[in-house]
């Protein structure tokens, strides 16, 4: 039996799988994540969340392919891609692959070391850029990511502790499309980390169990610990934190985010929307790959 304290419920195998599918269906419906005819690309890392998401979207009969981004994090990346490939080939699904080193000339550890910034910052920037531009250039309408309830609650806690009003305005299960931006959706937002691990086990999905070695000791994991302690004391804390925000507070911050989106122009290197001439990703790429910008123009 799979016990979910915040729902005060225990599920047998079959009903647990139904529960997961219903939570995803409800998230997609409530937040209008997908429109009829949309082509979806799932950002696949080889971990439990993104593979479960892909599996759930296939089960709900969406038109959905996968995209794996190779980050160049040694053995960890080498293993992760195998889980993604194995999942896709066993089910006859289409997995695209982009490799930061082969296709863009740098790796996440390299970028972090050159810029003296956190690897998680360089990684997040690269993922947002590559998933968006790949989807835009390959005719996908939606990028779906495997952020679950635990992830979103931890990001929210970090944003709230520093009152990052711009980030708070953009923290939502759906970021609508805008010129240069494909719609981004988080269909797992109603499901917790433990549930996604149980889903994979029950569905026979092998996944990368290791945490990324570069993430060790980062703030995000600290926020997860804090929220786990609060959830332990008072089950349902994470869900009421996240959904209370979405229902009663997000709108107050959203106007700030809309204002920030105005006045963006196209990056002269890659065409992505940016506040300056060259976008943050292309600047990172120039420093990390050693390739001067403008050489290709």
For residue 48, give the 3-state DSSP assignment.
helix
Verify binding: residue 252, a copy of itself, rule CB under 8 A.
yes
The stretch near a copy of itself (CB under 8 A) out of 174-182, 194-202, 221-229, 270-278 is 221-229
**CA R_g for the chain:** 19
Rounded Cα distance between 195 and 177, Å, is: 29
CB of 191 to a copy of itself, least distance (A): 20
| Among 54, 62, 106, 253, contact with a copy of itself (rule: CB under 8 A) | 253
| Among 175, 237, 264, 273, contact with a copy of itself (rule: CB under 8 A) | 237
In the block, residue with structure tokens 């109603």: 190
| Among 3, 22, 103, 247, contact with a copy of itself (rule: CB under 8 A) | 247
Q: How many residues does the chain have?
A: 297
| Among 9, 209, 249, 258, contact with a copy of itself (rule: CB under 8 A) | 249
Residues 149-168, one symbol each (x = binds a copy of itself by CB under 8 A, - = not), give -----------xxxx-x---
Verify binding: residue 213, a copy of itself, rule CB under 8 A.
no
> In 3D, which of 165, 181, 136 has the Cα closest to residue 41?
136
Rounded Cα distance between 76 and 102, Å, is: 17
Q: C-alpha 179: how far from its chain's center? A: 21
| Among 36, 61, 92, 248, contact with a copy of itself (rule: CB under 8 A) | 248
Q: Which is nearer to a copy of itself, 67 or 227 (CB)?
A: 227
DSSP 227-243: HHHHHHHSTTHHHHHHH
Q: Using CB under 8 A, which residues numbered 101 to 160 contact a copy of itself?
A: 160
In the block, residue with structure tokens 């968006």: 132
- Tokens, residue 100: 């930061």
Number of residues that bind a copy of itself (CB under 8 A): 22
Q: Using CB under 8 A, which residues numbered 33 to 52 contact a copy of itself?
A: none
Do 148 and 196 contact (CB within 8 A), yes or no? yes
Residues that bind a copy of itself (CB under 8 A): 160-163, 165, 219, 222, 226, 229-230, 233-234, 237, 240-241, 244-245, 247-249, 252-253
């Amino acid at each position: 039996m799979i016990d979910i304290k915040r729902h005060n419920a225990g599920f047998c195998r079959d009903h647990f799988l139904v529960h997961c599918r219903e939570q995803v269906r409800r998230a997609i419906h409530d937040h209008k994540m997908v429109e009829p005819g949309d082509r979806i690309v799932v950002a696949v890392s080889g971990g439990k969340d993104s593979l479960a998401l892909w599996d759930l979207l296939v089960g709900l009969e969406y038109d959905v392919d996968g995209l794996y981004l190779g980050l160049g994090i040694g053995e960890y990346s080498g293993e992760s891609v195998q889980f993604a490939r194995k999942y896709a080939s066993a089910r006859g699904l289409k997995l695209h692959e982009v490799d930061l080193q082969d296709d863009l000339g740098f790796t996440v550890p390299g970028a972090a070391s050159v810029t003296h910034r956190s690897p998680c910052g360089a990684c997040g920037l690269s993922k947002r850029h590559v998933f968006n531009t790949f989807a835009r250039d390959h005719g996908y309408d939606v990028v779906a990511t495997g952020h679950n309830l635990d992830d979103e609650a931890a990001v929210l806690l970090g944003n709230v502790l520093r009152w990052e009003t711009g980030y708070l305005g953009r923290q939502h299960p759906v970021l609508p499309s805008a010129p240069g931006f494909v719609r981004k959706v988080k269909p797992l937002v109603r499901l917790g980390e433990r549930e996604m691990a149980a889903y994979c086990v029950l569905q026979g999905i092998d996944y990368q169990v290791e945490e990324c070695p570069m993430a060790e000791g980062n703030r995000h994991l600290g926020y997860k610990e804090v929220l786990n302690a609060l959830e332990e004391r008072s089950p349902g804390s994470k869900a009421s934190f996240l959904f209370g925000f979405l229902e009663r507070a997000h709108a107050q911050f959203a106007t700030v985010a809309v204002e920030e989106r105005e006045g963006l122009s196209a990056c002269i290197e890659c065409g992505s929307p940016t506040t300056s001439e060259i976008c943050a990703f292309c600047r990172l790429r120039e420093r990390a790959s050693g390739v001067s910008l403008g050489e290709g123009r």
